[in-house]
Structure 1
Amino acid sequence: MRVGRIGRGACGLVLAVTLAGLAASAEAQPVSADAQKAFEDANAHYYKGEYELAARTYAQILSDEKLEDPVLYNNLGDASFRAGAYGSAILYYRRGLQLEPDGPVAQSLQNNLEVARRVLQDRYRSGADKSQFIYAEPGGLLYQLTHLVSVTTLIVLFLSTWWLALGLAALRRWRPGLRGLGAAAIPVLVLAVLFGSVLGGRVYTDNTFRLGVVVEDRVTLREGPNVDAQGVDVPEGMEVRIVDGDAAWTKVELSNGRRGWVETSEVKQI
């Protein structure tokens, strides 16, 4: 895939020449001709300064094609940023980083994320303290260890070492002349168990510690799930832990431990 970076101010759009090339980075998911045209249209809207329309088009591609791709999330985040939807931009940059924690696209995502947070720091006069927008990594060390690489990488590592261990064990049993090689099955099996444990921990933390982002301005964290309940304002772009909720209200926890309710439309899960 040929990728070019086009700088527009602090953020940069990452353009794939074709959506098929983009999908190749997303485990070669097939895309339709309509999606290809929509992707090109979204890029054109972006260059014309039609950022809201570009963002809607990128989002429609994600929805219609069921794509999970860091490049597309970066483009969607950048278009949202330029449309003034800073909370949504942070949401999409974080989603992209979950898919690709390392690499050139991850660097672009991280840089753009920092820019969006700085804009909101200035808006809410938080000075150099951007920590109010970041939910301290839930689950502590377990969360950090299980999120060093993407889920796809963990699956590949686990399956590769598992089948390699089985193959080496078979050699040890059926090819006596290769017993020395077969002895390597034990350390490889240990690696497979390790990767499997990390993968299991990843699934557990992702299901237990759901993070979200406040995507609307002037959101109130209320003491109960109704508009008459008292509450405090929370800034757009703030990361929260999603505790519970339904179609109308979502219970969240702030990084300082305070809990309350916000309207479900005001917060989106990363």
Structure 2
Amino acid sequence: MKNISYILIFLFGTLVFAQNHQLFDEANALYNEANYTEALVKYKTILDSGEHSAELYFNMANAHYKLNHIAPSIFYYEKALLLKPNDKDIQNNIAFARNMTVDAIDAVPEVGISKLIKNVTNTMSFDGWAKAAVIFVVFFVILFIVYYFTYSTSKKRFAFVTSNVSLLLAIVALVFAFHKFKLVEKDQPAIVFAQETKIKSEPNLRSAEAFVLHEGTKVQVLDTVSNWKKIKLSDGKTGWVLDDDIKMLKTF
């Protein structure tokens, strides 16, 4: 029975993939004919089937951009960037989309040791740092064995020093792996979808207005209380916004 189930799952997956591939081609053809709304319907159908890709998000963003949909275009460009952060086409197009936004928010530059540590941490993914730690541990074990069994004084000294260096590098890589994990977990970006939303100083409608944001602005979500999200802007300002006024980017 299990084999039959696996075969049925495989056949269903193949069928869905084929259908989505056809829908993607049809949507692209509609886009090239400037039928952006109809193209979006087909792209959305693919998305609803559970397929997620940078190419799909990029094309959806392009269609929304052509229709002057500020928030959706930026939202899908940002989702495409999450999957392909170094893609030049996505980077160029999102720059144009961001020019349509109303809010001009200056980013507070990071300086000093914190900036250096963050830059080094971001050179690799969490998996990359974890693999590096494992490799250095393996080197440490091999070199320690060499140190234990060799009789040459010079070789013992070399093996002792390099094994300790490998152990130190393994610890450093492990620290960076955990730091990268924390950075990823802490990074909870969202896009404002409301045409205009009043950001409150506390998570209730009676509290004072802190500032106003408009559609397309990117924020960081820090906390959640009931139907409110605490957000932070790139310039350091914080406040509370209603759940319905923003969309989280890391929901796939």
TM-score, with structure 2 as normaliser: 0.69
1:18-70 alpha-carbon deviations (Å, 9 max, x no partner): xxxxxxxxxxxxx95544443443333232223344245346436xxxxxxxx
Deviation at 1:164, TM superposition (A): 2.0
Q: Distance in 1 between matches of 2:18 and 2:194?
A: 31
Residue identity matched to 1:119: A
Deviation at 1:244, TM superposition (A): 0.8
Go from structure 1 to structure 2 and tell me whether the alpha carbon gap of 1:160 and 1:260 turns closer, same or farther (over 3 Å shift): same
Q: Report the aligned-residue RMSD.
A: 3.3
Local SS of the residue matching 1:48: helix
Q: Distance in 2 between matches of 1:35 and 1:150?
A: 30
Local SS of the residue matching 2:86: helix
| Rg comparison, structure with higher value | 2
Match of 2:118 among 143, 152, 157: 143
Mapped pair 1:77 → 2:66: no
Local SS of the residue matching 1:256: coil
Local SS of the residue matching 2:234: coil
Identical positions, percent: 12
- The residue aligned with 1:218 is 195
- The residue aligned with 2:93 is 115
Deviation at 1:251, TM superposition (A): 0.5
Deviation at 1:107, TM superposition (A): 3.4
Q: Distance in 2 between matches of 1:77 and 1:218?
A: 22
> Number of residues paired by the alignment?
216
Q: Distance in 1 between matches of 2:21 and 2:194?
A: 27
Deviation at 1:255, TM superposition (A): 1.3
Deviation at 1:92, TM superposition (A): 0.9
Alpha carbons 1:214, 1:235 under 8 Å: kept: no
- The residue aligned with 1:163 is 138
1:168-195 alpha-carbon deviations (Å, 9 max, x no partner): 2123224546747734322222321221
Alpha carbons 1:168, 1:182 under 8 Å: kept: yes
Mapped pair 1:264 → 2:243: yes
Match of 1:61 among 46, 50, 68: 50
Local SS of the residue matching 2:231: strand
Alpha carbons 1:250, 1:263 under 8 Å: kept: yes
Mapped pair 1:188 → 2:163: no
Match of 2:19 among 41, 55, 73: 41
Q: Distance in 1 between matches of 2:242 and 2:220?
A: 14
1:80-119 alpha-carbon deviations (Å, 9 max, x no partner): 303412132133133214xxxxxxxx432x4313312312
- The residue aligned with 1:26 is none
In structure 2, list runs of 5 or more residues that go unmatched: 1-8, 28-38, 65-71
Q: Distance in 2 between matches of 1:47 and 1:90?
A: 20
Residue identity matched to 1:79: N
TM-score, with structure 1 as normaliser: 0.65
Deviation at 1:151, TM superposition (A): 1.7
Go from structure 1 to structure 2 and tell me whether the alpha carbon gap of 1:156 and 1:117 turns closer, same or farther (over 3 Å shift): same
